[in-house]
Chains A and B, each alone.
Chain A
């Protein structure tokens, strides 16, 4: 039997999670000989290698160790070793539901080039304020993708669970090894640039065993700050939409209150985190939220500053000229009905669209950096949510002017 799918799992000293994931892959509706599993051990992890050597399950499993170089490199290595037509990337903290691989295969056969998988976040029992906030963040992300007319963009590619044809992955060059964080966003940018379509595969569901804690969360934020500078340098078009763009514009007073708090956080980082944990134990949610947001911003900016220490340069990087590239525009008239307008839009597939009803302006579907071009399925949901009232008024005005007696 030909190998249709290759499941690629980068892992790093998390044997328990890996065992759970492998067990869940054994329970797939797809027969085990229809797919192969490639585990890439990122860094020195003799216990993981030992565990995989002793694996006696039904899966066709191969593993390979690489020097510590980040999950992106490990995934690239896995893709090189893969024989499958479709690559399915799964992180080791996932647990696949039984229909996951079959759903990815079906989506690939149906023509979805990149299939973003669904995740259900499972928190440990004492998840606290951070955990519940994270769960909401994840849920909102997938809810948005499920929404009719969602415009996929580079931020929708989540490396923890997605599928892509092996040929496309090789053609695009895989993950950029220079990035240790945001490598999925960067791959998403190149895929969008290459006009490869994304789709959300609702039936491909994995349980995401979230183990984030405050320290990990702040570490990640710092890495994100670092990576954002890299992204802004490489893709200036993106710079204005990154969080750093706003934060780099605010100049702090030399002796302000925030400066003082920042001084304490910088010199006693553990103290600030302990204080936040104490606030959580006391149940002061509002204060915790403010403190957490402050720490996030602080560590994010630390990451940004470590990648680009010069304040002037930072400002330049994150505020490039507004119109770097001329964007394609579609002028769409809704007067002949939504269906007709949607057809016109699908023909042009512009980066942004101006909507009219006869002579009356209804609104603009704005350009988004590295997002899917606007097609037929985006039109009705956008009008409903953003310019519905103007549209209804335009219809009413049109009727009135059409039937009102003309005075001479």
Chain B
């Protein structure tokens, strides 16, 4: 049964919220002064949300997060409250054949506070001109067409075309929260920080596939700010820092860590992993990635089960393809150990648990799809490299 997504500002949570007929539970996001602090799934009784259920859920698991957030707000230093000088920012949306989603995404971006940011749509090898027509409805948005297929090619094009010092990427099937851009750019305070990622939550949980996606926590990174650098993690763990749906880079990342690898991510044999590999590379190059949960955006998860299984298979392929790239091209040999233990201790164990239906286990089809993807990843990367080399040779 579907789950209703609710968004409350603390402490104004209503005692009761009726009129949610057709939903059995609610995914509740709690904010404090606009900043997301916690989320919980609470049951609904006859289509009514009750505050008491939320309180019970909070007392069992969310208290620490809330206290930490309260503290940071209570004692936030005056220097944190003042915004640093306005950074020159470009928002890049890489899209392909999803005109309806793109319209919603652009509407949300145009409703952000205007701080002179540029909005750039990179249309990647479109089948028709639907996306272009959508963009034409928004005169403030810049349209660029990238005819070579591949999400990472579109990202590289965005980095080249952007005029901002910071380039914030958002997926075409996501919408930005009102404070998204500000929180992302504010986190770029230290010169060492060349990438900031944000929190992504579901915009709807209407189908079983969407609930399953949320359950496996593909975008879940928590509500506390985290910093990732080689002091704390191995470069192989870059994927823990965030995902391409919600990330921003300094434009000079190209000089500091290199371009996105065009043999990775959607549009190639590897399906995904371009974002993960870039995060690994940034960390390996001795820079820092900050995960800032205040930079919130909302993602529309895949509605159909078949689409979801395909996506999860793609995540498996992408992760192992990214690690193959780190090992082979980036010469990060420690990746081998991480990939090995992730496969046996997490993926395989997860798949076995799913077969026996142990409590808390992944859905079986998703677990197996990811396992298969993990096995296919290194081969897919080799294949994608060959295709890329062929494309480049043809172009020359």
Contact = CB atoms under 8 A, between A and B. Distances in A.
A286 interface: yes
Given A133-B230, A139-B190, A388 B333 contact: no
A131 B77 contact: no
Contact of A136 (B68, B77, B192): B192
Contacts of B192: 135-136, 139, 143
28 contacts: A120-B191, A127-B286, A133-B230, A135-B192, A135-B286, A139-B190, A139-B191, A139-B192, A143-B190, A148-B78, A282-B331, A284-B333, A285-B235, A285-B284, A285-B332, A285-B333, A285-B334, A286-B334, A338-B75, A380-B75, A381-B77, A384-B72, A384-B74, A388-B67, A388-B68, A389-B67, A392-B70, A392-B71
A94 to B, nearest CB: 16
Given A133-B230, A135-B192, A388-B71, A283 B332 contact: yes
A392 B72 CA distance: 12
Interface in A269-284: 282-284
A285 B191 contact: no
A338 B75 CA distance: 10
B79 interface: yes
Interface in B94-142: none
Interface string B322-357: 000000001111100100000000000000000000
Interface in B32-80: 67-68, 70-72, 74-75, 77-80
Interface of A: 120, 127, 131-133, 135-136, 139, 143, 148-149, 282-286, 338, 380-381, 383-384, 388-389, 392
Nearest to A379: B75
Nearest to B70: A392
A384 B73 CA distance: 10
A388 B235 contact: no
Contacts of B70: 392
B286 A132 contact: yes
B229 interface: yes
Contacts of B332: 283, 285
Nearest to B236: A285
A295 to B, nearest CB: 18
Dominant SS among interface residues on chain B: loop
A136 B287 CA distance: 7
B384 to A, nearest CB: 22
Contact of B334 (A131, A132, A139, A284): A284
Given A136-B230, A143-B190, A285-B230, 16 more contacts: A120-B191, A132-B230, A135-B286, A136-B286, A136-B288, A139-B191, A139-B192, A148-B79, A148-B80, A283-B330, A284-B333, A380-B77, A383-B75, A384-B74, A384-B75, A388-B71
A284 B285 CA distance: 14
B396 interface: no
Contact of B234 (A285, A381, A389): A285
Contacts of A389: 67, 71
Contacts of A120: 191
Contacts of A381: 75, 77
A103 to B, nearest CB: 16
Q: Pick the 9 closest A-B CB pairs, nearest first.
A: A132-B286, A283-B331, A148-B77, A384-B75, A388-B71, A139-B192, A283-B333, A284-B333, A380-B75
Contacts of A143: 190, 192
Contact of A392 (B67, B284, B285, B337): B67
Nearest to A127: B286
A143 B191 CA distance: 10
Contacts of B15: none
A120 B72 CA distance: 28
Interface of B: 67-68, 70-72, 74-75, 77-80, 190-192, 229-231, 234-235, 284-286, 288, 330-334, 337
Residue from B67, B77, B286 having most chain A Cβ neighbours under 10 A:
B286
Nearest to B231: A136
| Main SS class of interface, A | helix
B234 A388 contact: no
B5 to A, nearest CB: 30
A136 B75 contact: no
Contacts of B74: 384
B71 A131 contact: no
Contacts of A284: 333-334
B75 A388 contact: yes
B75 A131 contact: no
Nearest to A120: B191
A149 B67 CA distance: 21
Contact of A282 (B78, B79, B229, B333): B333
A139 B285 CA distance: 14
Nearest to B335: A283
A289 B234 CA distance: 11
Given A381-B75, A384-B75, A132 B285 contact: yes
A171 to B, nearest CB: 33
Contacts of A388: 67-68, 71, 75
Nearest to A377: B77
B71 A384 contact: yes
A120 B190 CA distance: 10
B355 to A, nearest CB: 34
A389 B191 CA distance: 31
A380 B231 CA distance: 27
Contacts of A384: 71-72, 74-75
Contact of B229 (A136, A149, A338): A136
A95 to B, nearest CB: 15
Contacts of A149: 77
A388 to B, nearest CB: 4
Nearest to B283: A132
Nearest to A393: B67
Nearest to A391: B71
B79 to A, nearest CB: 5
Contacts of B333: 282-285
A388 B66 CA distance: 12
A104 to B, nearest CB: 20
Contacts of A380: 75, 77
Contacts of A392: 67, 70-71
B182 to A, nearest CB: 20
A360 B324 CA distance: 55
Interface centre among B78, B234, B334 (most CB of A within 10 A): B334
A384 B77 CA distance: 10
Contacts of B77: 148-149, 380-381
A12 B213 CA distance: 62
A131 B256 CA distance: 13
A280 B286 CA distance: 14
A133 B192 CA distance: 12
A388 B70 CA distance: 10
Contacts of A136: 192, 229-231, 286, 288
A122 to B, nearest CB: 10
A143 B330 CA distance: 29
Contacts of B75: 338, 380-381, 383-384, 388
A392 B288 CA distance: 32
A392 B67 CA distance: 8
B71 A286 contact: no
A286 B335 CA distance: 10
